Amino acid sequence: MIRSLNIILIFTSVIMLAGVYTLKFSIEHTASERTALAAQIESQEGDLSLLKADWAVLNQPGHIDPIVKRHQVALAIGPVQQKQFGAFQDIPMRPVKPNNSEMDALFQSLEAGIDPIDAILELEGIE
């Protein structure tokens, strides 16, 4: 009985030993993966900081202004002038709707060969 117990114990310890080593190696593997990821994140953060800095430079008015000046002639642009501003109050009111029925009557009489202007001209004595 003792012998079989010993065999069981030996097997258990061998299995546990193997298990512990597997665990150890897998943890080491995870740790190195984690380190690699951390390094990657850091390098990407570094790249990101450079890209952000680039973006900030490109957005600066001091960077855009010379570009605008360079293309000023070609694009016909310039700083806004006072006279280019307007307000809704400055827009004239919409003209009164044209009188459609009278226009129709005019066109019909023109089509019929009677030009109302002739009557006026005749009255004024021009022609």
Partner 1 sequence: MAVTAEDLSPTIALDGGRKIRGNLTQARIRWMVLALVLGFGAVGGRLIQLGMVVPDSTIEGQARDVITATRPPILDRNGLEMAVDIRVPSLYAEPRRIIDVEEAVAKIRTVLPDLNETWLRNRLTGDKGFVWVQRELSPAIQERIMRLGIPGVEFLTESKRFYPGMSEASHILGSTNIDNQGIAGIEKHMDDDNVALLQELGLARGNALAPVELSVDMRVQHVMHEQLVDAMSRYKAIAAAGVMIDVHTGEVIALASLPDFNPNDPKTALVKDSFNRITAGIFEPGSIFKTVTMAGALDSGSVRFTDQFDARFGVRFGRFTIDDFHGKHRILALPEVYKFSSNIGTIRVMQAMGKDNFRAFLSTMGFDQRVPFELPEMRLPTVPKTLSEVGAATASFGHGLSVSPLHMVTAYAAFVNGGNYIAPTLYKRTEAEAEALYRRVIQPETSANIRALMRLNAIGAGGSGSQMNKEALGYRVGGKTGTAEKVVDGRYSSNKVTNFFGSAFPMENPRYAMIIMVDEPKAENPQSGTTAGWNAGTVTGRIVQRVAPMLGIAPDFSPIIDDSFVPSAYR
Q: Which chain residues interact with partner 1 by CB under 8 A?
A: 42, 45-46, 49-50, 52-53, 56-57, 59-63, 65, 79-80, 82, 85, 87
List the end-to-end C-alpha distance of the chain, in Å, as a whole number.
Answer: 145
Instruction: Name which of 14 and 63 has its Cβ closer to partner 1.
Output: 63
Residue 27 C-beta: closest distance to partner 1, Å: 21
Complex with partner 1: residue 80 or 112, whichever CB lies closer: 80
How far is it, in rounded angstroms, from Cα 44 to Cα 123? Answer: 92
Nearer to partner 1, 83 or 94 (CB): 83
CB of 74 to partner 1, least distance (A): 21
CB of 2 to partner 1, least distance (A): 21
CB of 42 to partner 1, least distance (A): 7
**DSSP conformation letters of 24-93:** HHHHHHHHHHHHHHHHHHHHHHHHHHHHHHHHHHHH-HHHHHHHHHHTHHHHT--SPPGGG---GGGSPP
Output 28 or 65, the one with its CB closest to partner 1.
65
User: Which tokens is 68 given?
Assistant: 């605008």
CB 116 within 8 A of CB 106: yes
